[in-house]
Structure 1
């Protein structure tokens, strides 16, 4: 007995010490995400630096002008730092980023930071409204179709939904934007075709950006809702004859949001690219219009700055989605939640 008591006493501190050494799930989550964020930022910085190296043509010749002689081109090369070794150029680029200096536009001589600061609010407004429309339309639509077609009912509705969302989701943003302008601005004349002078000018660009993500996310929500509705706890809840609103919003919606947001985060981040394209179609004064001008003029600092800014925004958006998932389902903090 004494031997057993000694073993028990010796084992007790070790058992009691485990909770003290156990790391908080949020701390582990934060460390993992910070490591991932650091890796993404390093990749973004490297890629944006190499843009100038990979784009055909000589940046010094572009800066010096088409009529410049060899001496002027060499002066431009020295001014850009292109006469330095590649490692030194990269160190100078990173140093500028740490100081908040993204360079100067070749075309206008403006600081790239000032250009982005003046254009970013327009892009952010368009992207935010498009994301809001996607969430407000896709989630209820997908849930409604899944509920209406539960158990193999209403096959025509199910087929029509699948066909319609597949067809609409396959149309590129710029083609859809052109069609919207043709119908609502030219034929009907009810909405402006371009510009940002009135609030109604946002309607067509938002629709052009949002339609494809709505179709994709609605199909995801429908699939996840159908999976949730087949669970035993949902059968029990229906057996208690709970009101439909309570049944689906309180019991079904929270359980399908985890997987929906996991895939939805990728869709919403992808929408930034669609926003850039649509801005050019509607002459919206955001980053998209400016980066197209920069590409045509080979204005490399502006291209670098815009690509880096959009990459950081997409990364932060995915980080926000991960935090929301952690709040909604703490199992995702440790990676133990079932993910699609």
Structure 2
């Protein structure tokens, strides 16, 4: 198990190098640079060159990339061109809002999808099954920005139940979490249904029913537990995706998270902030996916036994 964790962490190194390389060079190919944002009105060509020199933008892109990665090796992610603040500090300032929104969105998705998937699986081929799948697909079909605007109009402007944006109060998270959660609902519902259908055909469930165990216990304790591996995979993948920044939703609701930070930085051609934010997000996603893999061993003892068996073979080999 420890060797597996170390191997996965080491694999993050080439991923970070590849991601940072792509971001850095794509930013350089984009028209304009941070000087266009920072230069005062009426700035002369000499003024523009002076600003460009101060930022190091007059150097070849490969030189700037090597210097940036050299700083990364020493724990320095650079300084924002625009705000002049440390990139790492800026990212960490925005991260809690994204984490809060991500977990709230995943919670909404689980509360809607898992019961709906179980309900659909236990009524396979019926009208209820078809309706459940239609409901799930409606959640997937609605664009996040459209649903977000619709929720703002109904529940914020007309009813006044929730704030229309920002992160001032606990109620501020309700509308953006529903917006993202309903978008995630279709995939998780279909996965839950498919996984439960595979388990419901197993002989041990018939044995449990024959022993007189109530149907609710058979479904929730026996069937669902053995169907959890695919469900956990989808939940982990969705969580990683949302933590990467729900750009449209954060923009619609003026949510002060990582997604909005990256978009604003891109618009200002703030290369250090964009690159640093994406590198940090890549590291975060890799750790989340690693934790999901490790969670398999907790949910399914057979997977843990495989790790132990492999370790035993290596010791005796």
Q: Which runs of 5+ in 2 are unaligned?
A: 308-317
Aligned residue among 222, 232, 238 for 1:251? 222
CA distance in 1, matches of 2:12, 2:276: 18
Residue 59 of structure 1 deviates from its aligned partner by 4.1
2:96 equivalent in structure 1: 121
Q: Does residue 82 in structure 1 map to residue 53 in structure 2?
A: no
1:236 equivalent in structure 2: 207
Taking the TM superposition and a 5 Å limit, the aligned residue runs for 1:140-289 are 140-147=115-122, 149-150=123-124, 152=125, 155-273=126-244, 275-289=246-260
Residue 28 of structure 1 deviates from its aligned partner by 4.6
Number of residue-to-residue matches in the alignment: 306
Aligned residue among 8, 11, 24 for 1:36? 11
Q: Does residue 99 in structure 1 map to residue 74 in structure 2?
A: yes
Residue 317 of structure 1 deviates from its aligned partner by 1.3
CA distance in 1, matches of 2:144, 2:56: 39
CA distance in 1, matches of 2:81, 2:43: 15
Tell me: CA distance 1:125–1:218, structure 2 relative to 1, closer, same or farther (3 Å). Answer: same
The answer to whether the 8 A contact 1:51-1:304 is kept is no
Tell me: CA distance 1:174–1:274, structure 2 relative to 1, closer, same or farther (3 Å). Answer: farther
Residue 226 of structure 1 deviates from its aligned partner by 1.0
Aligned residue among 11, 27, 31 for 1:52? 27
The answer to whether the 8 A contact 1:209-1:274 is kept is no
1:303 equivalent in structure 2: 274
TM-score (norm 2): 0.86
1:23 equivalent in structure 2: none
Larger Rg: 1
CA distance in 1, matches of 2:92, 2:45: 36
The answer to whether the 8 A contact 1:208-1:278 is kept is yes
Residue 266 of structure 1 deviates from its aligned partner by 2.2
CA distance in 1, matches of 2:287, 2:165: 30
Residue 223 of structure 1 deviates from its aligned partner by 1.0
1:109 equivalent in structure 2: 84
CA distance in 2, matches of 1:274, 1:61: 26
CA RMSD of aligned residues (A): 2.4
TM-score (norm 1): 0.81
The answer to whether the 8 A contact 2:245-2:257 is kept is no
The answer to whether the 8 A contact 1:213-1:271 is kept is no
